[in-house]
Amino acid sequence: MTNRKMQIIELTLKNIQEKGFTSFSYEHLAKELGVTKASIHYHFEKKGDLGIAVCERIQQGLERTFTLMKESTLPAEEKPFAFIMQRIKFLEQDGICPISALQADYQELPQPMQEKLQQLSQMEIDVFVELLKDAKQQGALQATNDLEALAVLLISSTKGALQYKRVVGEAFFQKMLEQLKELLK
Amino acid sequence: MTNRKMQIIELTLKNIQEKGFTSFSYEHLAKELGVTKASIHYHFEKKGDLGIAVCERIQQGLERTFTLMKESTLPAEEKPFAFIMQRIKFLEQDGICPISALQADYQELPQPMQEKLQQLSQMEIDVFVELLKDAKQQGALQATNDLEALAVLLISSTKGALQYKRVVGEAFFQKMLEQLKELLK
DNA sequence: ATTGACACTTACCTACTAGTAAGTTAGTAT
DNA sequence: ATACTAACTTACTAGTAGGTAAGTGTCAAT
């Protein structure tokens, strides 16, 4: 079964959202899967290898959601927020964005993971810029707007709000979203 | 020396910004201070006790900066952003906000720390609301604005941007700030 | 001079971490 | 039947984690 490899990646993704990269262990994963630690080392020799695989998994998710939005029949102006809502659907209950979780652990990551995470973070920005471009062409945004700056704000506030939400409750995230929409009108 | 106690708290605060709560160790702190692990356990028996002390230290910092802003001669409309800039001054190079760092580790924290962090997070919101109230009274903001929602957006975007900044570079944070100011005009 | 508190150190324990080496089992190809 | 491979397990290592018990040195008050 190469399903096992996917299973490990999915479980790790879940664990990263809940605990972060440094705080989950091979032992933990192994117990949840009903196998031994060594079996996970067979599939991913080093923890960093597993980390890279998870980064690639996240990247695919970003790409898939991007394509979904591109092909969606929604008005282009709604797509950036639809993108956010779609991404949030895949988060664990009380999980934060896995990219944020990895960023928080950044200094502890093996170097190849740091580089991969840089790439991944930049890609997320690019995806938003692309969606905002469409919205602008549709005339939905003020022409004055620097799209990259807008993307950066959308991303920052979403990621920040997900972390507060976990601690102070669901309402925080909703408030942030409404305020953001209000300001963009 | 009760300086030692403060020294430990300050060093821990630095370590939390850089690595998070779960990823720093008593051994680490001890080496940096040139004492033994047991000496730190003498001042803070459990790691959770040290964590609580650091939360209180952060809380004091918030209060001091709040008072500083309240007493400042700046126009009230500039105070919320001045508050942010003042807080950022105290961050380590490539450190994230310690509150964000603790939020990222939330599920791994001992329960008393979770409660303290809830308090701390809420207090940060309240501080912003208070500063925004002044700005509004000065007529600086649109009267339509829900101040708590605005506070929530300011906080989210600042915290999120600090985490991206560490990975993709300083410019990210600046872009976010400019865009935020632009939208608030 | 003695007591007692403070701020430690030495020496230890248990639990857990990532990682490895060698052996096992089941299925496939020849 | 044999050989080979994939996917494991058992058993281990070395290092680190948080935490503790018992002892040491210094100083101030009595």
Instruction: Kindly give the confidence (pLDDT) of every residue in chain B, 185 residues in length, as a single tens digit, with 9 standing for 90 and above.
Output: 569 999 999 999 999 999 999 999 999 999 999 999 999 999 999 999 999 999 999 999 999 999 999 999 999 999 999 999 999 999 999 899 999 999 999 999 999 999 999 999 999 999 999 999 999 988 777 767 799 999 999 999 999 999 999 999 999 999 999 999 999 98
Task: Determine the average pLDDT of the residues in A59-85.
Answer: 96
CB-CB under 8 Å, A19 with B175: no
Output DSSP code: residue B49: H
CA torsion angle B15 B18 B23 B26 (round to 10): -10
With tokens 């799209």, the residue in question is A147
- Which pLDDT does position A140 carry in this prediction? 76
Cα angle value A133/A137/A138 (rounded, 5°): 115
Sequence-separated (6 or more) residues with CB below 8 Å from residue B42: none
Sign of CA dihedral A175, A178, A183, A184: positive
CB-CB under 8 Å, B20 with A20: yes
d(CA B106, CA B47) in angstroms, rounded, equals 14
- Which pLDDT does position A143 carry in this prediction? 61
- Which pLDDT does position A101 carry in this prediction? 98
Q: Within an 8 Å CB–CB cutoff, is residue B14 touching chain A? A: no
* Residue B38 Cβ < 7 Å to strand C: yes
- Which pLDDT does position B50 carry in this prediction? 98
- Which pLDDT does position B2 carry in this prediction? 65
Closest CA to A133 of A80, A91, A95: A80
- Which pLDDT does position B171 carry in this prediction? 97
Task: Determine the average pLDDT of the residues in A165-183.
Answer: 96
- CB of A11 within 8 A of CB of A92? no
Amino acid found at A79: K
In order of B5, B7, B8, B50, B97, the CA distances from B2 in angstroms are 5, 9, 10, 15, 26
Task: Determine the average pLDDT of the residues in A86-93.
Answer: 95
Closest CA to A182 of B43, B127, B170, B146: B146
- Which pLDDT does position B97 carry in this prediction? 98
- Which pLDDT does position A145 carry in this prediction? 79
With tokens 């720390």, the residue in question is B113
Among A101, A166, A178, select the one facing B149 at the smallest CB separation: A178
Amino acid found at B22: T
Q: Which residues of A touch B103 (CB under 8 A)?
A: 96, 163-164, 166-167
Instruction: Report the percent of chain A where pLDDT is more than 90.
Output: 91
Q: Which residues of A touch B92 (CB under 8 A)?
A: none
Task: Determine the average pLDDT of the residues in A115-129.
Answer: 98
Structure tokens belonging to residue A15: 């664990």
Structure tokens belonging to residue A174: 């909703």
Closest CA to A44 of A9, A14, A3: A9
- CB of B96 within 8 A of CB of A104? yes
Q: Within an 8 Å CB–CB cutoff, is residue A170 touching chain B? A: no
Q: How many CB atoms lie within 10 A of CB B11?
A: 18
CATH architecture of the domain with range A54-184 = Orthogonal Bundle (1.10)
Give the A:B interface size as CB pairs under 8 Å.
157
Sequence-separated (6 or more) residues with CB below 8 Å from residue A123: A59, A62
Query: What CATH number is given for B53-184 in this structure?
Result: 1.10.357.10
